[in-house]
């Protein structure tokens, strides 16, 4: 069944790659139960670069690993919005003007969603919004009927058709930017939404919760960068009077201390991140934005 599916994807021009499988004893890779991405990473040494539409190669792979999950390279036939929480779902709805896309949709084994769009030409964007990643050029997704580590299968809710929805401009703009100024785009003032957000305060509270949570859980080596990004995002919301800046700073500081960052470094990062964010105020209704 996995081989049949893999061949069908390839016939539609989607490069396919075999992915490890997760079972009761963990991942089929050498790390087994210690694997951090059970059933989600490529079986091939060169990973994504070996993805192919060649049916003979695909048959060879699945003869060798009959239960291999099916990975699909994104950015060729489709890009995928990867939603892994309710918050990501609401975020995507906002960007799409209040409704979910009508194109192909997958329920992932973990209870998340994959929505397929025609390729944007952009690469991957992790954390496009809280709970929402974008898989574009250079990325891949695990596709039905693969099995998730939870034991549930990835399954189609809406099967692919020949025309994929193209992301509306608001979505494209969100994927394109803005980037925080310390990532090489000092004049980024682009506002990612073309349409008004219905409940900006509620949205701001959701972002506050998501960002502080992310800071609190950030692994060593990424903590300061995560804090910086969070402070930037909250600074933008504070500049739009959607958050109390003192409350935002205090929440971030508590989260950073929980993550194990030192107090002086934490305060410095929050101050600089938030003031950079304040220079690019968040605009819930971009029709009113300054040029």
Residue numbers of the site for Zn ion (CB under 5 A)? Answer: 20, 27, 29, 35
Is the distance from CB of 93 to CB of 100 less than 8 angstroms?
yes
Give the H/E segment covering residue 70. Answer: strand 69-73
* Upstream peptide bond of 178 is cis (omega within 30 degrees of 0): yes
Nearest alpha-carbon partner for 266 in 257, 275, 278: 257
Residue 29 C-beta: closest distance to Zn ion, Å: 3
234: its two tokens: 């909250």
Nearer to Zn ion, 27 or 92 (CB): 27
Given the structure tokens 């934490």, which residue do they identify? 266
Nearer to Zn ion, 38 or 235 (CB): 38
Q: Is the dihedral of CA 61, 62, 66, 72 positive or negative?
A: positive
Residue 136 C-beta: closest distance to Zn ion, Å: 24
Nearer to Zn ion, 28 or 283 (CB): 28
Nearer to Zn ion, 39 or 104 (CB): 39
Nearer to Zn ion, 5 or 29 (CB): 29
Residue 42 C-beta: closest distance to Zn ion, Å: 10
Residue 64 C-beta: closest distance to Zn ion, Å: 17
57: its two tokens: 């190669």
Nearer to Zn ion, 20 or 148 (CB): 20
Residue 145 C-beta: closest distance to Zn ion, Å: 19
Is the distance from CB of 80 to CB of 120 less than 8 angstroms?
no
Residue 143 C-beta: closest distance to Zn ion, Å: 18
Sheet strands (E) in 14-163: 16-19, 22-23, 26-27, 69-73, 79-83, 105-107, 113-117, 125-129, 132-135, 140-143, 155-158
Nearer to Zn ion, 33 or 285 (CB): 33
Given the structure tokens 């509270």, which residue do they identify? 205
Q: Is the dihedral of CA 246, 248, 254, 259 positive or negative?
A: negative
Instruction: Give the span between the Cα atoms of 149 and 146, in whole angstroms.
Output: 10
Residue 39 C-beta: closest distance to Zn ion, Å: 7
Residue 27 C-beta: closest distance to Zn ion, Å: 3
Instruction: Give the span between the Cα atoms of 240 and 230, in whole angstroms.
Output: 16
Nearer to Zn ion, 20 or 223 (CB): 20
What distances in angstroms separate CA 50 from CA 58, 77, 100, 120, 245, one per listed residue?
Answer: 11, 16, 33, 22, 48
287: its two tokens: 């029709």
């Amino acid at each position: 069944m996995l081989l049949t599916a893999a061949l069908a994807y390839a016939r539609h021009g989607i490069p396919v790659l075999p992915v490890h499988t997760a079972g009761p004893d963990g991942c089929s890779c050498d790390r087994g139960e210690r694997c951090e991405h059970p059933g989600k990473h490529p079986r091939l040494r060169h990973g994504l670069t070996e993805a192919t539409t060649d049916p003979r190669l695909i048959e060879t792979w699945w003869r060798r690993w009959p239960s291999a999950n099916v990975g699909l390279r994104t950015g060729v036939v489709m890009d995928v919005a990867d939603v892994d929480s309710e918050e990501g779902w609401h975020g995507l709805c906002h960007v799409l003007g209040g409704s979910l896309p009508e194109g192909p949709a997958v329920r992932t084994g973990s209870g998340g969603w994959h929505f397929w769009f025609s390729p944007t030409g952009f690469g991957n964007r992790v954390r496009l919004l809280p709970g929402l990643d974008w898989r574009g050029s250079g990325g891949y997704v695990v596709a039905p009927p693969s099995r998730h580590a939870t034991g549930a299968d990835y399954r189609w809710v809406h099967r692919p058709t020949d025309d994929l929805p193209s992301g509306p401009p608001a979505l494209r703009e969100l994927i394109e930017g803005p980037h925080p100024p310390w990532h090489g785009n000092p004049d980024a003032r682009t506002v990612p939404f073309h349409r008004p957000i219905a409940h900006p305060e509620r949205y701001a509270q959701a972002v506050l919760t998501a960002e502080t949570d992310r800071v609190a859980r950030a692994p060593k080596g990424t903590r300061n960068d995560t804090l910086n990004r969070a402070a930037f995002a909250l600074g933008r919301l504070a500049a739009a009077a959607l958050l109390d800046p003192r409350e935002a700073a205090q929440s971030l500081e508590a989260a950073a201390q929980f993550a194990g960052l030192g107090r002086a470094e934490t305060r410095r990062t929050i101050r600089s991140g938030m003031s950079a964010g304040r220079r690019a105020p968040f605009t819930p209704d971009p029709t009113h934005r300054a040029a």
